[in-house]
Amino acid sequence: MILSVSRRTDIPNYYSEWFLKRLKEGDLYVRNPINPHQVSRVLLSPDVVDCIVFWTKNPQPLLQRLSELHPYSFYFQFTLTGFGRDMEPYMPDKKAVMIPIFQRLSEEIGKEKVIWRYDPILFNATYTPEYHLNAFEQIAKKLRGYTLKCVISFVDIYRKNEKNLRACGSYALPENQLIPFGTALVQIAGENDIKVASCAEKLDLSVCGIEHNCCIDQRLMEQIVGCRMKAGKDKNQREACGCLESVDVGAYHTCKSGCIYCYANSSPNTVLRNSSLYDVNSPLLCGRITESDQITVKKVTSWKERQLSIWDL
């Protein structure tokens, strides 16, 4: 089993103590986002958890406690953009705080285990293509030697973020401008020994030198785990997503970063209400089990291929 921690919220930033406690306890509960009264109990033994993929804008709360992850294989998807407080109102200063945190995490666990996400890319009157290229270059220079890959994507419109995107004047860049933009990103990244890949983009950007990426990446995971993995494609993700199957342990409407473009929160009031239910001792993130909940133990297994194949000889 691969744990996704989490596409739905920033667990490393806001709920790391809860997650580490659940690892010690050996299980956690996850509500089905479609049918909230369906609750899965997920066992967290290192025997079945092949790898943990952390998604975060700020892993600082975990930095002092990385040793508690020792029984597990893991890597980080670290989002670091060029947006200001108008887009990411509660993020610390990028140059003074976030870039040093990225560098420190890389030094602790290895640059191959920290994927830089310049994601999403949103265009408006302030955040023009020229602005992004300048911001991307500044960050890339600081991250040279601290990461091997940068994952990009262009902002997608969902029901939860449509109003905010319209209010900030977001627009899509035409393809005849998108290709030169992507080519420029690749050139900047290459000058800093970083490879650029895309996340769930239908547009073929290979002409720019941007490969189609899998964020929950079989090749990277096999390198980290040290053996082949037999997991299949995650059918619960978008068609253009090539990620391996995983179990997401987060909850929507609980991320407190307040990013304008976010697809995982419906409103600040909902986030405030849900996050107020946070209890580090609860097996459920930001909530409690009720009498109407139906709890089932999720069937999980290791995807590791422990026997040698002809390809290993």
Q: Which residue has the higher pLDDT, 304 or 233?
A: 304
The total number of residues written for the chain in this structure: 313
Residue 54 to residue 168: CA distance in whole angstroms? 29
pLDDT over 50 (residue 232): yes
Over residues 95-114, the pLDDT tens digits come to 999 999 999 999 999 999 99
Tell me the C-alpha distance between 1 and 247, whole Å: 7
Give me the number of domains the chain comprises.
1
For residue 161, what pLDDT is reported?
A: 86
Q: What is the pLDDT of residue 239?
A: 63
Phi, psi of 304, rounded to the nearest 5 degrees: -70, 135
Query: What's the DSSP call for residue 94?
Result: I
Q: What does pTM read for this prediction?
A: 0.93
Q: Read off the pLDDT of residues 198-219 as tens digits, 9 standing for 90 and up.
A: 986 777 788 899 988 888 888 8
Distance CA 201, CA 178 (A): 12
Mean pLDDT check: name the lowest of 61-70, 106-115, 150-159: 150-159
Average per-residue pLDDT for the chain: 92
**Which domain, by its residues, includes 76?**
2-312
State what percent of residues in the chain have pLDDT above 90: 81
Q: Name the CA radius of gyration of the chain, rounded.
A: 19
**Per-residue confidence band for 268, with pLDDT thresholds at 50, 70 and 90:** very high
Q: Which of 251, 231, 254, 233 is nearest to 242 (CA)?
A: 233
* DSSP secondary structure letters along 258-280: --TT-SS-S-HHHHHHHHTT--T
What's the rounded mean pLDDT across residues 233-250? 79
